[in-house]
Amino acid sequence: MRKLLLALAALAACALVVPLALSSSHREAPGISLDPSADNTDTYAWTAKDATGALTVAANWIPGEVPANGPNFHSFDPRARYYVHIDNTGDGKPDVSYRFRFKTKVRNKNSFLYALPGASGYGDPKLNVIQRYSIDRITYRGKRRRERVHTVARGLPVAPPNIGPKTFPNYQTFVDGATRTLKDGTKVFVGQRDDPFFVDLGATFDGLNIRVPTGDKGAGKDDLSGYNIHSTVLQIPERLVTRNRQAVSGPDAANAVVGVWSTTERRRLQVTNAGSARGHGRWVQVSRLGNPLVNEVVIPLGKKDQFNRTTPNRDAALYGKYVVKPELAAVMNALFNVGAPEDNRADIVQALLQGLPGLNQHSGAKGPPAVDTIKLNLGTPPSATEDRFGVIGGDNAGYPNGRRLGDDVVDIDLQVVAGYLKGNKVPLGDGVDQNDKPFLSTFPYLAAPTSGFDSAPSDRFEPPHPPVPAGG
């Protein structure tokens, strides 16, 4: 569903914005689009300015949450398992995984209300529906990769959907109560937040419709503004994620790079509304998300569901050919003649799947393997002033060296596919440069969710830019 506008500033005075089917991962594959509560939307991994000794990860699910969605608001699904994975060797296999499991409790089954007016905290009986979760930290031992599971948190509260000021006069109380520090020093928040992804989706799948505007210089419409998602935010001390279990001394340290992605699992057999939340059969992966481009536009429709089921260590074998010869480059050329190289795109493989040499390539990994993980060099100091273009904007602390909330991955990916790293620098973009709400400077960083009471359709649908007439 996420779509893109791609602007050709080369056409200077009357630049075009061209929508393309590229973005992160809201409803990106046929199967998972029918299962929103298990659908990964975005994964972020970065070094926060106020926590330079830790890996910060935000993994989001449930695309397009309309805030006013009562009486049964969006939530994590107790029948699914949600994961954040970390690879510290570069082989695309997880070395540390965090698994989130949820339980939902209804305190008064005779009420239809999610919460009574004035609910003031998790202990308040006025909060009628409360979701709690556990975190399993999983490490893998030996050649057979036997799982060692440590439950590092139990019964922590999920910040509820932001219903409105009458129900929750002080919503921040719930955010504060859902922000916890575990015994090992890991900080965690789980709950509803504003969707941090920003993109002009509207025209993309309308046959690459063309709107007016201005390329990578603003004036697009953020089709996700006013919508919420559910997020898990982790801030994990470096020693808990690096290959030698030590903090990272600097960008050249052998343990500096980690690869991050997120997945969801369901039971192979699951009956809805059968009175049991358990289901049967083994757990199978139904969704995954590393880089915000790969499944969306690189993987063809016939393979998208398979991509969601497979693991990064098989990416080169299963999907390498689609990256080396991306359909998107050919489409861009056919429509707009941007001169994007259409074959032998080792530059894209490197930028997204292998890591950039001297910046975010795993040290010692042979090849290195092409795996769809967000590779972050934990030794790169955060930038005082962030450039939304990240590495191609001269800011090495941004995407694709990790992914910060404010990185404009739509514009970056368009420019990289057009051939930026091969010297073909075309100022492409969707005209949306930032999120509709400012991010927080402190944990959990994602902006507060729009409340149901305060949300208005006009927040979500700005006046459309009229399409350019055919041939115009």
Binding site for Ca ion (CB under 5 A): 87, 89, 91, 93, 95, 194-195, 408, 410-411, 429-430, 432, 435-436
**Angstrom distance (rounded) from CA 349 to CA 60:** 25
**C-alpha dihedral sign at 203, 204, 208, 213:** positive
Q: How far apart are CA 397 and CA 329, in angstroms?
A: 27
C-beta of 324 vs 448, nearer to Ca ion: 448
Inter-residue contact 4 to 23 (CB < 8 Å):
yes
Measured CA to CA, the distance from residue 41 to residue 388 in angstroms comes to 20
Q: CA 226 to CA 241: how far, in whole Å?
A: 34
How would DSSP label each residue in 410-427?
Answer: HHHHHHHHTTGGGT----
Spatial neighbors of 270 by CB under 8 A, at least 6 apart, are: 79, 279, 280
| Closest distance of CB 225 from Ca ion, Å | 5
In the complex, least distance from residue 268 CB atom to Ca ion, rounded to whole angstroms: 26
Q: Closest approach of Cβ 126 to Ca ion, in Å?
A: 29
Distance (Å, whole) CA 161 – CA 448: 10
Rg, Å, the chain Cα set: 22
- Please tell me the distance from the alpha carbon of residue 258 to that of residue 288, in angstroms, as a whole number: 17
Of 376 and 432, the one with the shorter C-beta distance to Ca ion is 432
Instruction: Please name the helix (run of DSSP H) or strand (run of DSSP E) that holds residue 53, with its range, or none.
Output: strand 51-65
Between 23 and 128, CB nearer to Ca ion: 23
How far apart CA 63 and CA 40 sit, in angstroms, is 8
Question: In residues, how long is the chain?
Answer: 472
- The bridge status of strand 180-181 relative to strand 16-20 is unpaired
CB-based contacts of 114, cutoff 8 Å, min separation 6? 70, 71, 72, 73, 128, 129, 160, 161, 163, 167
Rounded-to-integer distance, Cα 2 and Cα 323, Å: 19
DSSP SS3 for 385:
coil
Report the interhelical angle of 301-309 vs 315-324 (nearest 10°): 150
Here the tokens at position 399 are: 């995407």
Tell which phi-psi region holds residue 392, choosing left (phi > 0), alpha (psi between -120 and 50) or beta: alpha
- 315 three-class SS: helix
Between the alpha carbon of residue 6 and those of residues 300, 426, 427, 472, the distances in Å are 20, 10, 9, 17
Rounded Cα distance, 132 and 100, in Å: 10
